[in-house]
Structure formats: C-alpha cells, structure tokens
Structure 1
Amino acid sequence: MLKFLKRLHWMDYVILCVVITLAVIIAARMGTALNYNWRWDKIPNYLYRYKESEDAWVANLLVQGLYTTIRIAIYSSILALILGVVLGIARCANNLTIRMLARTYLEFLRNVPPVVIIFIFFFFLSEQLITALNLDRWARGIARSDDAAVWTFFFGDMRRFPALISGVIVLALFESAFVGEIVRAGIQSVDNGQREAARSIGMNRFQEMRYIVLPQALRKVMPPMANQFITLIKDSSLVSLISVPDLTFKTVELVASTRLIFEAWLTAAAFYFVICFGLSMLFRRLEK
C-alpha cells in the first residue's frame, strides 16, 4: 500500500479530492433538492438474512443476484470463447462458403443493438431449445430431490435453471461475435513465413493451426480478449430483460418493493465495479 502511495503524483491527490468533493456535493443536493431520505441501514438486510428454519445466515436478494451474475459470466465466457475461436478460424478458412457464413454471423451480431439480439435469440432459439429438451421438467425434478446440493452450488435455484441457461446461451451467442473477430485478427497477425515454414516440414492445415498459428495468436489477443470478458460481465445485465434473476433483475425487484432507489443501484454498481476491476487487475498480471 505504501509503495502504491509513493507512486502517486500530486495531481492524483488533487483529482481524488475533486472526485470526493463532487460525490459529497451530489449526495447533499440529492438530500435537499430531491428531498430524498437515505436509508443505507436497510441494505445489509437485503444482502444476507437470518433463516430461522436453518439457524444460519443465507443470501438475500442482492447477493442471490450477484451469484447468478457470476455464474452467467463464467458459463457464458467459456461458451463464447469456444464459439469465438471456431468463428475466428472459420473467418480465415480457405473455403469461401465457410468464410461467408462466419462473416454473415459476425456482421449481423456486431451491427444490431444487443437488446434486439437478446430478444431474437431468446424467443427463436433459446426458448425453443429448452422446450425441445424438456429442461423445465428435468430441473424441477432435480429441485425436489434430496441430492440437489451440488446442482444448487453450480446453478443456483434449480427451479430457475431454464432462465439461467437462456441467459447463458443468448449472452454467449452475442459475445462470441466479438470474440471471433478478436481471434481472426490474432490469426491474421501471424506472419505468413510461419505458415510457410510449417508447410515446408510437412504439417497439414490442422497441425499448422494448432502448433504454430494459435499459440502465437493467443499471446497477441490476450489484451483485447480480457477487455471483452470484462465487457461481457457488464453486458450480462441485459439478460434481466428476459427475466433472468441476475443482479440487475434483483435490484429492480428491490427498488420496486422498498423504494431504496439510490441505495440499491449504488450497491449493485459497487458489485459490478469490484468484479470488473478485480478481473482487470488479474488480466493485467497475466499479460505480464
């Protein structure tokens, strides 16, 4: 901590003082001009609550939403990475049909508002897939069973499992378009001499991509990929529009029932900031 403070310039302290002063002024103006009654003492009750039947503290609305957001972010990131790598490789394929199909998918998703994309994928793909696989009945059966603890740990309330899967699918399909373009740029940044050297020693297309191109491309795409995963966490708030009980959805519920408008949204913003800032620091270390 002391080393960090020593690196700060005097201008950093000035900016910090200005930010704190502005925050205090805004809070004071909200209390006077808007006649808003701050009730921060109520927020801890919506983080955790004491459940007498279990004699333990359990997660309440905001923490439940936070857990769901983390689950959606993790599963969507994995699925978006897999789809994005496939799309990025397809964009560099020799076959014109494969390249055009991949480009059509990428260009469509990158040039249409995300809210529209989420509704399209939800009603025309995700919901149909869940109905076809009968996931709703299966999830309710798991929720009523005695050995649901492991499922609950990974997926939360199994009665809301279809909603969670819907959020993961639509978010991953949307974000995979951006991951695909990042992977495509990384692949094309590898010098052609590397490819020619691979072919000269008898490597086929798959071996060239696996052993020569992708290892070099991954190092180059790490910074933009890290930024995209952080963006994915912030974009996860959009799945609340399709009734996925994430942090944003739970915050809306809390505001509607308690009128803790600023307290609830500032708490949600703090949760998002901590997650994104923590990932930013982690990826910065990985880049080094």
Structure 2
Amino acid sequence: MVPNSQPDDDFPWWLVFAIGLAALFFYRIVVDDLYMQVLGTLAKGVKITVFVTLIGFFTACVIGLSLAVATLSRFLILRQLARFYIEIIRGIPIIVLLLYVAFVIAPAMVAGWNWLADSVGLDPIRTRDFPLLWRATLALTIGYSAFIAEVFRAGLQAVDVGQVEAAKALGLNGWQRFRLIKWPQAFRMILPPLGNDFVAMVKDSSLVSVLGVADITQLGKVTAAGNFRYFETYNVVALIYLTMTVTLSLALRRLEHRLRERTGGD
C-alpha cells in the first residue's frame, strides 16, 4: 500500500470552499447592475468558446488516434511521418500556432483552392472568406492532435501483448483485435489524461481572442476597455471559466469512477 494515499471517497472540502466563493460571486452579480450587464455581454461569448472547444477537441481526437495508430504501424514510413508531425507540432506554442495558421496556412489553403478552382472552372475565393473562427479552431485542432496522439499511443501500448496474441490465435483480424481487445482496455487508461486535455482546451480556447474571435476573453477585453471596470469584468470572466472547467473536471472524475465500478477496477 502506498503511504499517505488518499481514498477516492475523501470528502471534497476544497469543493465546498469553491462553491462558497462561487455563491458569493453570483450573489454580487445578482445584486449589482454592473455585474449583471457584464455577465449579459460575456454570455454571448460562451457559445463561441463551447463551439471552438467541442469541434476542435473532437477533430483533434480523430487525428490523434490516427497518428497514434500510425506510430505503432509496421510500416516505417507511416511511423516516421507520424513522429515527425507529433514532435514538430508539440514544439510550437499554441499561440504561435494560432497566428501561423491564421496568417500563413489559411492564405496558403485559399491559394491552393483557387489554383484548383481555376483548373476546373470554379469561382475563386478570397482569404477573408476563410473566417477567423474556423482558422482558430483549425489551429487548436492541429496543436492538440499531437498531444492527444501521445495519450492514445501510451494507452494502446499499455495493453498486454499476450491478450493481443491470444486474439490473433483465435482468428481475429487486425480491426477486430483493435475494437474488441485493445481499444476497450486502452480507453479506460487514457480517459484521465484525455479529460485533462479537454479541460486544458477549454482554457486554451481563450487564446483565440488574439485573432479577434468574439469568445469570452475577447468580449471581456472589449467590455473592460469600454467601461474601465477591469476588476468587475475580469472577475466575471474568471468565474465563467472556473465554472466550466471545475464542472467538467468533476463530471470526468465521476465518469472514471463509474468505469472502475463497471469493470471491477481498484
């Protein structure tokens, strides 16, 4: 037994304290007209934040899983290409990647489309027709896919090789071995780090404000610049993000607990 280990059912006093602080802030918001005005303005940015996070994370998971499978492929070129992508992208800060995608890759994609459209007789498009919202979502997708690929790779490699060999001996093909043997076991192991990445993307989605995307952070900056009430405005911004991230963390922890109960894990 690990010394000083804490049981999973340890009462979350930290959560009680956090809820108390949140209740205090919500009370201030309800009784203060300025806070209510700020909250009403920032609430419009919640939809953008949720949209960028959900679309970006889902797409990053699809790309990340494909990269993880490629790194474990028996083909050398697939392994090297996947490793090249992962190492290069992980070495670029997210904010730099946002700017690079928005002002380098997006115009290049438009130019490529126009070249193809010209060859087949379609109408060209302008760079401004590529919305900044989608450029930001693409950048977050690219950035997080590299990190998520490593999560998937570690989970898949952690599955006992003997079980895979036994499945092969029973006549299961590669897809059946992945779907029935490797993936169910790997998913249980990758859920905690994958959940952490999801929560991290919620927070990193605030970086899209550097492109002028009207998320919570951008609307907060605009509101504070207009009313000069930085204390109240950024209190509300912080409260919204904290509410989203803490709720997600608790939901993911509950899901992990449910999975352990269903599989009989410790």
The equivalent residue for 1:80 is 60
What percentage of residue pairs aligned between the two structures are identical?
Answer: 33
Answer with 101-110 or 176-185: which moved more: 101-110
Q: In 2, Cα distance between the equivalents of 1:225 and 1:76?
A: 14
The equivalent residue for 1:24 is none
* Shift in Å, 1:126: 3.4
**TM score, norm. by length of structure 1:** 0.71
Cα distance per residue 1:33-69 (max 9 Å; x no partner): xxxxxxx532312333xxxxxxxxxxxx311112110
Which residue of 98, 103, 109 maps to 1:123?
A: 103
Query: CA 1:285–1:261 in 2, change beyond 3 Å: closer, same or farther?
Result: same
* Shift in Å, 1:130: 6.0
Which residue of 98, 103, 108 maps to 2:78?
A: 98
Q: In 1, Cα distance between the equivalents of 2:189 and 2:46?
A: 32
* Shift in Å, 1:84: 1.1
Q: Does 1:222 align with 2:214?
A: no
* Shift in Å, 1:191: 0.9
Q: In 1, Cα distance between the equivalents of 2:100 and 2:173?
A: 39
The equivalent residue for 2:51 is 71
5+ long unaligned stretches in structure 2: 1-9, 22-31, 115-122, 258-266
Paired amino acid for 2:42: L
Cα distance per residue 1:253-283 (max 9 Å; x no partner): 1111111111111111100000001111111
- The answer on whether the counterparts of 1:130 and 1:162 sit within 8 Å (CA) in structure 2 is no
Paired amino acid for 2:33: D
Paired amino acid for 1:283: L
Q: Which runs of 4+ in 1 moved over 6 A?
A: 133-137
Paired amino acid for 1:68: I
**TM score, norm. by length of structure 2:** 0.76
Cα distance per residue 1:119-178 (max 9 Å; x no partner): 1222233354467488989x99xxxxxxxxxxxxxxxxxxxx822222211111111111
- The answer on whether the counterparts of 2:45 and 2:216 sit within 8 Å (CA) in structure 1 is yes
Q: Does 1:43 align with 2:35?
A: yes
Q: In 1, Cα distance between the equivalents of 2:184 and 2:243?
A: 31
Q: In 2, Cα distance between the equivalents of 1:275 and 1:8?
A: 18
- The answer on whether the counterparts of 1:135 and 1:162 sit within 8 Å (CA) in structure 2 is no
- The answer on whether the counterparts of 1:251 and 1:265 sit within 8 Å (CA) in structure 2 is yes
- 3-state SS, counterpart of residue 47 of structure 1: helix
Q: Does 1:162 align with 2:138?
A: no
- 3-state SS, counterpart of residue 202 of structure 1: coil
